[in-house]
Structure 1
């Protein structure tokens, strides 16, 4: 039996690719989370994410990286079509239609927040073990503990 306990995630997106504003402006504020090309991040989507899970929407590779919104997982996992598109920067010639390597979920943006950057996150002792703050962590998707979620979503970003 699948767990009904909500799970929480931090999902990184480069704002030029898909910003929180882009997500909020999308139909039903839902966007497909394309382009994940790391097996561990893919496995988080495949094995851990469920519809309704909470998402900290994070802008990366920009002037001010950080959490910029609250979202939720809006669909189950499915094949990422960009892996089959030779014109896409996410094309993967080794991926096959009958055995796709790369997956996606739809994410629904719920609200934009102030930017909660890495320096501020690092300044909160209770967040010290958060995966995004670990030295060398470059994963685009990481799990977030329920206690960290409450502190951030219901506290720092409330």
Structure 2
């Protein structure tokens, strides 16, 4: 099992949205590096932090689990979708998504400011300046440090 952090704008899709749906596809990733992680590394059973970005309360909001591995993001073929890619080919799709299932909503968002001061997270991509990826790996020790912090509150 591996660990990940998925960034989302809560106005578009939040931990509350996932909680109400129970299961959802994680679509719309349009960065090649993030796409490669989805396509080549993320597996069924992996754990995911849901991270709210571009909002008032930036930080980790909860946990999900991957329940379906990578498959073509069908929105890339839909001209009415914001995620439409006219250069994508159905025989060799460019973009992929996974399905995730809600597991846990934190009582309070664990803010980015708190993550930045945890020495155990100094190598976590989201705390580094300029990291804009929507999907990023989390080491097991980083995952445990975050979960201990959340459970200590």
TM-score norm. by structure 2 comes to 0.95
Structure 1 unmatched ranges of 5 or more: 1-5
**d(CA) in 1 for partners of 2:25, 2:146:** 24
Q: Moved runs in structure 1, 4+ residues, more than 4 A?
A: none
- The one-character-per-residue Cα deviations of 1:122-148 (angstroms, maximum 9, x if unpaired) are 111111110111111000000000000
**d(CA) in 2 for partners of 1:48, 1:98:** 21
How many residue pairs were aligned? 150
Matching residue within 142, 148, 152 for 1:148: 142
Partner of 1:11: 6
Q: Does the alignment pair 1:92 with 2:85? A: yes
Partner of 1:104: 97
- The structural deviation recorded for 1:67 is 0.2
**d(CA) in 1 for partners of 2:114, 2:96:** 32
TM-score norm. by structure 1 comes to 0.92
**d(CA) in 2 for partners of 1:15, 1:152:** 20
Matching residue within 48, 58, 67 for 2:51: 58
Over the residues paired in the alignment, what is the CA RMSD in angstroms? Answer: 0.8
**d(CA) in 1 for partners of 2:16, 2:80:** 25
- The structural deviation recorded for 1:91 is 0.6
Partner of 1:3: none
**d(CA) in 1 for partners of 2:55, 2:94:** 28
Between Structure 1 and Structure 2, the one with more strand by share is: 2
- The structural deviation recorded for 1:99 is 1.0
Structure 2 unmatched ranges of 5 or more: none
Matching residue within 133, 140, 154 for 2:127: 133
